Copies of this chain bind each other. A is one copy, B any other.
């Protein structure tokens, strides 16, 4: 008779705890880890990144400050428009991002270890459908335009 809403919250807690644990082993906080993984394969502008991570621009700016201070990330300003900042990983940052991502891939699904294989598979499907709906995904060859709809961080 567990309530669905309640159990979803606790599920999120379990996932976040394990994620934070793995991030910690790579000396990263969850927020830093998500930022790093978001740009590990392609640089992004601050505004894109903010939309993609669902955070305000100013919060992102400060998050980038902290990661840049550690040399994992690099701000760059294109000639064409000097207002924008394009954020890219440094070689060091890329190494860490990839190690972390691989670790998350390998070890985070452990939480579903004791589930029946098909239950596990269905969980995966459900998770994919939900995230596809709520998380704005950048296509690989993205132009940088985000679909503003379905973004959880809209203002009222």
Docked Cα-Cα span, A7 to B7, in Å, equals 18
Top 8 A-B residue pairs of the complex, sorted by shortest distance between their CB atoms: A5-B108, A12-B15, A123-B126, A10-B131, A12-B12, A122-B122, A11-B127, A5-B105
How extensive is the interface on chain A, given as a class? 35 or more
User: Chain A at the B interface: mostly helix, strand, loop or mixed?
Assistant: helix
Does A16 lie at the interface of the complex (its beta carbon under 8 Å from any beta carbon of B)? yes
Judge whether B109 and A130 touch: CB under 8 Å.
Answer: no
Does A8 lie at the interface of the complex (its beta carbon under 8 Å from any beta carbon of B)? yes
**Residues of B contacting A8 in the complex (Cβ-Cβ under 8 angstroms):** 15, 108-109, 111-112, 127
**Residues of B contacting A109 in the complex (Cβ-Cβ under 8 angstroms):** 4-5, 8
Chain A 113-141 per-residue mask, 1 if CB under 8 angstroms from chain B, else 0: 01100011011111111110111000000
